[in-house]
Amino acid sequence: MELSGVGPVEPGENTHELTTGPDLSGPVTGRPGPPPSGHLGHSGRLDPSGRLDRLGRLVGLQRFYDRHRRAVLASASAVGLLAGGGYLLATRPEEPPPPPDPLPSQVVDVAYLGVEPPPAGARSGSFSFAVRITVRSGPTVTVVRVSQPYAALSLTSLPGTPFRTKTGFGHKIVVTMHVTECANVPSNAGLPFLEVTLRNTRAIQDHSFILGEQYAHDLSEALQVACSNELSSRPKP
């Protein structure tokens, strides 16, 4: 049969009309359209609201959180401890520095003990007396030198200087003087003193120790004995 012109194709045997969706006026494609929203495959179940998808995502997030929660909590705790420790260190008041060691002259006492016999072999005109040196506190003190202020006298000590002392212990020192020039010795010693050089971990000091009236009396008598002839011939002031 011949056809003239163009017109709609009449449906033949075993044919049926297909559509692409709700719009029935669309063209016939010959293929089934996309499945409607919420289609679950061949099971035929629908989830129009998408609740199953959201529930699946929530379950996945919960499992991820459970797996990583301990690590996150441990990291947060460590950061908190470090921050707290740094704050405590930053705000802790600084401890004051320890006090310095005392000066040696502040902790040393020198006491006069009395007259001593001159050591064997001492030259004529020599005389001796004893003192006690005590370090009350602080570090060890070294006695560097013992001397006296009169140019006409020479001095030696036993033990010889320098020597170290022990804190809290009295050290007996025997001092021997020798008259070198009687013309220049004092006829009256007044309040004589000993010059002692002391050293500890803080400083070295020269300090004069006045030994009291008894030492002045004994020194004056010793000088008179050592220079009796010259002293007796001097005119009295």
Sign of the C-alpha dihedral computed for residues 149, 199, 211 and 107 taken in this order: positive
Give the three-class secondary structure for 151: coil
Per-domain residue ranges of the chain = 104-233
Return the ∠ at Cα 161 (arms to 155 and 164), rounded to 5°. 145
pLDDT given for residue 122 in this prediction? 87
104-233 in CATH: which number?
2.60.40
- With b for 16 or more beta-carbon neighbours within 10 A and e for fewer, the 7-43 pattern comes to eeeeeeeeeeeeeeeeeeeeeeeeeeeeeeeeeeeee
**Residue type for position 108:** V
pLDDT given for residue 21 in this prediction? 46
* pLDDT (tens place) for every residue of the chain, 237 residues total: 444 444 445 555 544 444 444 444 445 444 555 555 544 444 445 555 666 666 666 666 666 666 666 665 666 666 566 666 665 566 667 788 888 999 999 999 999 999 999 999 888 889 999 999 999 999 999 999 999 998 899 999 999 999 999 999 999 999 999 999 998 887 777 788 999 999 999 999 999 999 999 999 999 999 999 888 554 555 555
Phi, psi of 41 (to 5 degrees): 85, -150
DSSP conformation letters of 203-226: -EEEEEEE--HHHHHHHHHHHHHH
This prediction has a pTM of 0.57
